[in-house]
């Protein structure tokens, strides 16, 4: 019984950890310690105020669309563990999430802070932390604040809320605001965009 309880706890512990960090991140944003920056304000923040854009999305999202010149350190990386318990979790994840969204089964990058420190050694540097929807970047901002970074910005709403002209020099095969979409939902998106285009012509 003890073994089963430990296994059950291991399924939930990462989620509880992320939720706790997310709660701290909200407090940092509400207090103004971490500055919320809207996508439409990001270009000015980078050009006029000297913010560096830190993209913390996983590699498979960044490959689809990315801002030229942005830094990249993923907060989540693919979990390649093939133990029986992890394989079970991967199977459940694929059935409920992966098939629809195209997302891999991930784990928090254990080297996240160290990798950011290599990219941005001066912890007084202005860093604008960004992801697809704004949730993962909240967690990342909290971790960076705990690691000593003192001039953090958070891209409110993430790249998903951005417009085509919010960021200069977008590279990749997709629009920046659609890069988080994959799996079956990607094809629904393409159909929706096609119907919108046909509707405009009519």
Question: pLDDT per residue over 135-188, tens digit each?
Answer: 999 999 999 999 999 999 999 999 999 999 999 899 998 889 888 764 334 434
Sign of CA dihedral 46, 51, 56, 62: positive
Plot region of 139 (φ>0 → left; ψ -120 to 50 → alpha; else → beta) = alpha
Domain holding 41, by residue range, is: 2-201
Contacts of 19 (CB under 8 A, 6+ apart): none
pLDDT surpasses 90 at 60: no
Question: Each residue of 104-146: pLDDT tens digit?
Answer: 556 889 999 999 999 999 999 999 999 999 999 999 999 999 9
The CATH number of the domain holding residue 32 is 3.40.250.10
Average pLDDT over every residue of 177-202: 53
3-state secondary structure of 43: helix
Positive/negative CA dihedral, 7, 73, 145, 160: negative
| Residue 199: partners with Cβ closer than 8 Å, 6 or more residues away | none
What is the pLDDT, as a whole number, of residue 107? 82
Task: Record the tokens describing residue 139, joined without a space.
Answer: 């967690």
User: Could you count the other beta carbons within 10 Å of the beta carbon of residue 143?
Assistant: 21
pLDDT for res 41 = 97
Number of domains in the chain: 1
CB 50 within 8 A of CB 34: no
Q: What is the pTM of this model?
A: 0.71
Which residue would you say has higher pLDDT here, 162 or 92? 162
Q: How confident is the model at residue 202 (pLDDT cuts 50, 70, 90)?
A: low
Rounded to whole angstroms, the Cα distance separating 87 from 170 reads 36
pLDDT beyond 50 at 83: yes
Rg of the chain's alpha carbons, rounded to an integer?
18
Instruction: Give pLDDT, residue 111.
Output: 96
Are 175 and 57 within 8 A, CB to CB? no
Half-sphere exposure (Cβ direction) of 14: Cα atoms closer than 13 Å: 13
Return the active site residues: 131
For the stretch 13-38, what's the b/e string if a residue is b when 16 or more beta carbons lie within 10 angstroms of its beta carbon? eeeeebeebeebbeebbeeeebbbbe
Identity of the highest mean pLDDT range in 7-11, 99-103, 112-116:
112-116
Instruction: State how beta strands 170-172 and 65-67 pair.
Output: antiparallel
Mean pLDDT score of the chain, rounded to an integer? 77
| Structure confidence at residue 178 (pLDDT) | 84
Q: What is the largest CA-CA distance in the chain?
A: 65
Least confident of 5-19, 20-34, 141-155, 158-172: 5-19
Label residue 54 by pLDDT band (50, 70, 90).
very high
């Amino acid at each position: 019984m003890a073994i089963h309880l430990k296994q059950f706890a291991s399924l939930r512990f990462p989620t509880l950890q992320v939720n706790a960090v997310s709660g701290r991140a909200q407090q940092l944003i509400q207090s103004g310690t971490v500055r919320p920056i809207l996508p439409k304000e990001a270009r000015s923040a980078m050009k006029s105020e000297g913010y560096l854009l830190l993209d913390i999305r996983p590699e498979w999202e960044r490959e689809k669309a990315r801002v030229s010149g942005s830094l990249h350190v993923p907060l989540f990386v693919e979990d390649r563990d093939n133990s029986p318990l992890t394989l079970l979790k991967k199977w459940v994840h694929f059935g409920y999430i992966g098939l629809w969204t195209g997302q891999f089964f991930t784990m928090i990058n254990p080297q996240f802070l160290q990798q950011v420190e290599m990219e941005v050694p001066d912890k007084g540097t202005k860093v604008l932390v960004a992801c697809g929807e704004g949730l993962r970047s909240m967690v990342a901002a909290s971790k960076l604040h705990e690691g000593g970074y003192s001039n953090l910005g958070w891209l409110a709403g993430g790249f998903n809320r951005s417009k085509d002209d919010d960021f200069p020099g977008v590279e990749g095969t997709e629009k920046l605001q659609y890069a988080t979409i994959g799996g079956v939902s990607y094809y629904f998106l393409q159909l929706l965009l096609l119907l919108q285009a046909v509707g405009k012509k009519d």
